C-alpha cells in the first residue's frame, strides 16, 4: 500500500510540474558547422583514434609473434608466422585463475561501493546536518584515491597487518571500496540534485518513510548514475596495482595486475607472454565499455541540467 501511495504521489507531482510549464521542450538551436571546420575536427578525432589504437594493435601483434620474430631488426609488423604459444604459456601459468580472482574482487567492490554511495549521496543532498559542507568537500578531495593511493600504502599495510586483515579474500575489496567510494558518491549526488524535492515532499505527505523514498523514487531515477559509477568503480578496481601487489602474496588470491608483472623477470622482459597477458587483461574492460559505456555519458550529464 505504501508503494502505491509513493508512486501515485510521484505521478501527481510530475503531472503538476508539466501542467505548470516547469518542464518545457526547448527548440534546438544548432548552428551548421562550416565544411572546413568539420573536416579539421574529423581529422583531429581520426588522429586521436589512431594514436589510441596503435599501442593496442602493436601489443596484439607482438603477442602473436614467436621469440625469433620479437627480436628481428628492423621490426616486422605483418611479415611473420602467427603463433598462440605465448597465450598457451600464459594460461598454463594460472593466469585465468588470477582473472577470476580480479573479477570477484571487482564485483564485490562495485556492489559495496554502490550500496554505500547511494544513501550517502541521498543524505548529502536532502538533509542538513553539522559539518555537511566540509565533509562533502573532504569526499571530493578524496576522489584521486580512485586512481590508487601509493602514499597510503604503508599505513594501510601496517593497520591491516596489525588487525590480521592481510592476505584474505576480503582484503582487496575493502581497500578498493574505500578508494572508489568518494567518486561514486560524487557522481550519484550530481544526479540527485536534478531530482525534484517535491517528489520527496509528496511521498512524505502520503506517509512514506525516507527508506521508502530512497527505494521507490530515488533508486529508479538514479539508475544512470549508478551505472556510470559502477563502470568507473569496476575499471578502477580492475586496474589497481600498488595495493594488490603488497596486501596479498598468496598465488590463489593474487589479482590480475601483479600477475602481469610476473612476466617482467630478473633477466629482462618476456615480451611475448607479457603482451599476451596484457591482451587478455583488457578483454573485460572492452566488454564493460561496449555494453555499459553509454551509461557513463548519461550518468555524468543527467544532473547537469535542471528543469
Query: Beta-carbon neighbour count of residue 185 at 10 Å?
Result: 26
pLDDT given for residue 184 in this prediction: 93
pLDDT given for residue 31 in this prediction: 62
pLDDT given for residue 144 in this prediction: 81
Grid cell in block for residue 259: 600477475
- What's the CA gap between 100 and 88, in Å, rounded? 17
Q: Is the peptide bond before 74 cis (omega within 30 degrees of 0)?
A: yes
pLDDT given for residue 4 in this prediction: 47
pLDDT given for residue 182 in this prediction: 92
* DSSP assignment string, the chain: -HHHHHHHHHHHHHHHHHHHT-S--PPP-PPPPPHHHHHHHHHHHHHHHHHHHHHHHHHHHHHT--HHHHT-SSPPSS-S----HHHHHHHHTTHHHHHHHHHHHHHHHHHHHHHHHHHHHHHHHH---TTHHHHHHHHHHTGGGGG--GGGHHHHHHHHHHHT-SSSTTHHHHHHHHHHHHHHHHHHHHHHTTS-HHHHHHHHHTT--HHHHIIIIIHHHTHHHHHHHHHHHHHHHHT--HHHHHH---TTT--HHHHHHTTEETTEE-HHHHHHHHHHHTHHHHHHHHHHHHHHHHHHHTTSS--
- What's the CA gap between 169 and 102, in Å, rounded? 11
Q: At what angle do helices 132-141 and 95-126 cross, to 10 degrees?
A: 150
Burial class from Cβ neighbours inside 10 Å (0-12, 13-18, 19+) for residue 182 reads buried
Q: Give φ, ψ of 191 to 5 degrees.
A: -75, -40
pLDDT given for residue 72 in this prediction: 81
CA triplet 299, 304, 307: central angle to 5 degrees? 115
- What's the CA gap between 59 and 260, in Å, rounded? 14
- Non-local (6+) Cβ contacts of 129 within 8 A are 123
- pTM exceeds 0.75, yes or no: yes
Domains by residue range for the chain, with CATH: 2-7+84-301 (1.10.3720.10)
Q: Give φ, ψ of 268 to 5 degrees.
A: 120, 180
List average pLDDT for each run of 10 residues in the chain, which is 307 residues long: 51 46 45 75 91 89 87 81 90 91 95 94 90 91 76 85 88 92 92 86 84 87 88 91 87 89 72 90 89 70 50
pLDDT given for residue 185 in this prediction: 94
Grid cell in block for residue 246: 603488497
> Is 88 within 8 Å of 273 (Cβ atoms)?
no
pLDDT given for residue 90 in this prediction: 92
Query: Beta-carbon neighbour count of residue 168 at 10 Å?
Result: 15
Amino acid at each position: 500500500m505504501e508503494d502505491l501511495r509513493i508512486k501515485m504521489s510521484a505521478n501527481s507531482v510530475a503531472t503538476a510540474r508539466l501542467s505548470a510549464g516547469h518542464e518545457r521542450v526547448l527548440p534546438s538551436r544548432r548552428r551548421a558547422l562550416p565544411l572546413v571546420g568539420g573536416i579539421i575536427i574529423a581529422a583531429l578525432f581520426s588522429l586521436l583514434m589512431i594514436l589510441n589504437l596503435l599501442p593496442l594493435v602493436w601489443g596484439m601483434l607482438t603477442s602473436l609473434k614467436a621469440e625469433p620474430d620479437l627480436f628481428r631488426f628492423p621490426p616486422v609488423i605483418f611479415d611473420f608466422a602467427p603463433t598462440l604459444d605465448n597465450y598457451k604459456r600464459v594460461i598454463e601459468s594460472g593466469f585465468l585463475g588470477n582473472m577470476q580472482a580480479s573479477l570477484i574482487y571487482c564485483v564485490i567492490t562495485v556492489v559495496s561501493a554502490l550500496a554505500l554511495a547511494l544513501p550517502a549521496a541521498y543524505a548529502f543532498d536532502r538533509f542538513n546536518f553539522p559539518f555537511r559542507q566540509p565533509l562533502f568537500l573532504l569526499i571530493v578531495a578524496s576522489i584521486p584515491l580512485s586512481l590508487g593511493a601509493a602514499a597510503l600504502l604503508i599505513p594501510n599495510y601496517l593497520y591491516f597487518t596489525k588487525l590480521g586483515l592481510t592476505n584474505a579474500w576480503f582484503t582487496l575489496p575493502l581497500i578498493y571500496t574505500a578508494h572508489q567510494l568518494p567518486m561514486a558518491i560524487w557522481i550519484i549526488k550530481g544526479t540527485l540534485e536534478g531530482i525534484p524535492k517535491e517528489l520527496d515532499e509528496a511521498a512524505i505527505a502520503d506517509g512514506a518513510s525516507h527508506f521508502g523514498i530512497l527505494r521507490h523514487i530515488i533508486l529508479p531515477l538514479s539508475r544512470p548514475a549508478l551505472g556510470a559509477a559502477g563502470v568507473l568503480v569496476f575499471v578502477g578496481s580492475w586496474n589497481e596495482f600498488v595495493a594488490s601487489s603488497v596486501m596479498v602474496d598468496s598465488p590463489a588470491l593474487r589479482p590480475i595486475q601483479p600477475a602481469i608483472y610476473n612476466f617482467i623477470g630478473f633477466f629482462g622482459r618476456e615480451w611475448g607472454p607479457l603482451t599476451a597477458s596484457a591482451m587478455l587483461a583488457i578483454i573485460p574492460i572492452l566488454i564493460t565499455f561496449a555494453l555499459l559505456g553509454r551509461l557513463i555519458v548519461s550518468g555524468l550529464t543527467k544532473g547537469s541540467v535542471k528543469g
